[in-house]
Each structure stands twice: as structure tokens, then as C-alpha cells.
Amino acid sequence: MPPFAMPPVPPMALSLDTARGALAPEGPMLVRRMSDLEGLFRSADAWRAACDGDDPVVYEVTSSPVPELPRELPQSVTTIRPGACGGEFHMTKGHQHPDPQGEIYLGLSGRGGLLMFDGERPEWVDMGPGTIGYIPPGWAHRSVNTGDEPYRFLAVYPGSAGHDYGWVLEHGMGLRARRGTGGEVSLVPYDG
Ligand code: S6P
Ligand code: ZN
């Protein structure tokens, strides 16, 4: 019998509560606070002040029980809380898939952006409920909450893709998403 005929999880239905970002059945849950985002915001002073203050939760990731294994298709729901650090919108760490493979995001609630970077060109996709964002192989990706409510999306990705966070620290993401004086999104060069 081929190995894919003995899957680690059986065929199943998952229920997704889009209002709470909850999956049932549920797998691992991850909480990222401001202190977990060292070196990512432009203003190190603003980042340090936020860490020394209440060190707020920036985002949470709830996963399905589908494991990150070859041939599997894990899913996760990310909720980014609204806010900014030094004028830069709350965002995920961002990563590159070491095994370059595509990924799909589906916007569930709130307003956000999907920032992608291939090392030379940045791309920005506005995300909202019902938007499908496609991340091609080889493009690092970061999500940003550009609204006043939690921004939530579903991700589906190949289980063998892996997650390289060092790539973003080394190469940046090409653009930063700043909150303008009227609350609008202002995309500026990474070093700007
Ligand atoms: C996984 C997918 C998402 C992110 C999540 C958190 O490939 O892209 O589930 O992991 O949005 O972002 P990050 O950059 O902290 O992993
Ligand atoms: Zn990814």
C-alpha cells in the first residue's frame, strides 16, 4: 500500500467560525506578541516602548489538525489585531517557504493587505472578506491589518513548504505599510 493511502489524519470536515477565527477540530494555536517581532518594524524605539509597555498581542494563528508533512495541505486562520507601531500597521513576521511552493489566502473579515516580495519586486494585494490572495512559489509573504477591526484570513499551504523567517530579516519585504494621517494606507520603500 503506498504511504499516501495511510494518511496521518482521516478525511474530515472542519467547521470554521469566521466571527471568532476558530476551527473545529482544532490543532496547534500560536500567539505572537510585540516582543516576538524584533527587528521587523522600522522604528526600533517604538517597538521597544511597546514591548516595555503592555507587550500587546499582535496576531494569533489557529491551525487545523492537518500536520505539516509532505503531500498534506495544512490550513490555518490568522487574526491580526488592529494597531500600529511607530506608524507602521500591525503585521505578521513574514516568511519565505524554503521549499518554494505556492499558497492561497482567503480573506474572512476585516481589512488587510498581503505584501509579497521575491527579493527584487514587491507586490501588494488588498484583502477583505471573499478575496483570494495567491502567493506564487518563491515570494516571501507578510500580512498587514490596515483597518480598525481584527483582520482575519484562512491560509492553505503545502505541508512540506517549511517557514524561513530569517530570509525576511536579511532581505526585508520591499515595502512597509504605514498608517497615514487620515488612517489610509501609505506604502513606502522598506528603508523609508
Ligand atoms: C503559513 C501561512 C500563514 C502564516 C501566518 C503567520 O505558510 O503563510 O499561516 O504562517 O499568517 O505569519 P508568520 O509570518 O508569522 O508565519
Ligand atoms: Zn506561508
Alpha-carbon distance 18 to 36, whole Å?
26
What tens digit of pLDDT does each residue of 168-178 get? Answer: 999 999 999 99
Q: Does the CB atom of residue 109 touch ligand 1 within 6 A?
A: no
Residue 96: CB atoms within 10 A of its CB come to 22
Residues with CB under 5 A from ligand 2 (ion): 103
Q: Give pLDDT, residue 4.
A: 65
Phi, psi of 156, deg, nearest 5: -130, 125
Q: Does the CB atom of residue 95 touch ligand 1 within 6 A?
A: yes
3: pLDDT strictly greater than 90: no
Give residue 115's pLDDT band: very low, low, confident or very high (50, 70, 90). Answer: very high
Residue type, 124: W
Ligand 1: distance of its center to the CA of 2 in Å?
31
Starting from the edge strand earliest in sequence, which strands make up the sheet with 57-63, in order? 29-33, 57-63, 75-80, 151-156, 103-109, 132-135
Q: Does the CB atom of residue 157 touch ligand 1 within 6 A?
A: yes
Ligand 1 atom nearest residue 168's Cα? 14
**Considering the chain, what percentage of its residues have pLDDT values greater than 70?**
97
5: pLDDT strictly greater than 90: no
Ligand 2: distance of its center to the CA of 103 in Å?
6
**CATH number of the 22-189 domain:** 2.60.120.10
Which of 72-86, 106-120, 178-192 comes out lowest in average pLDDT?
178-192
Ligand 2: distance of its center to the CA of 109 in Å?
19
Q: Does the CB atom of residue 147 touch ligand 1 within 6 A?
A: no
Q: Which residue has the cell 503585521?
A: 91
81: pLDDT strictly greater than 90: yes
143: pLDDT strictly greater than 80: yes
Alpha-carbon distance 97 to 140, whole Å?
7
DSSP letter string, 102-160: -EEEEEEES-EEEEEE-SS-EEEEEE-TTPEEEE-TT-EEEEEE-SSS-EEEEEE--TT
Q: CA of 136: how far to CAs of 100, 106, 121, 122, 145, in Å?
A: 8, 15, 13, 13, 21
Instruction: Parse the chain into domains and list their residue ranges.
Output: 22-189
Ligand 1 atom nearest residue 142's Cα? 14
Average pLDDT, the chain: 96
1: pLDDT strictly greater than 80: no
Ligand 1: distance of its center to the CA of 142 in Å?
8
102: pLDDT strictly greater than 70: yes
Which of 4-13, 105-114, 137-146, 177-186 comes out lowest in average pLDDT?
4-13
Give residue 103's pLDDT band: very low, low, confident or very high (50, 70, 90). Answer: very high
Q: Give pLDDT, residue 112.
A: 98
183: pLDDT strictly greater than 60: yes
Residue with the smallest CA separation from ligand 1 atom 8 is 155
Q: Give pLDDT, residue 192.
A: 55
C-alpha cell at 169: 530579516
Q: CA of 87: how far to CAs of 67, 109, 117, in Å?
A: 36, 23, 21
Q: Give pLDDT, residue 13.
A: 96
What tens digit of pLDDT does each residue of 39-61 get? Answer: 999 999 999 999 999 999 999 99
Q: Give pLDDT, residue 191.
A: 84
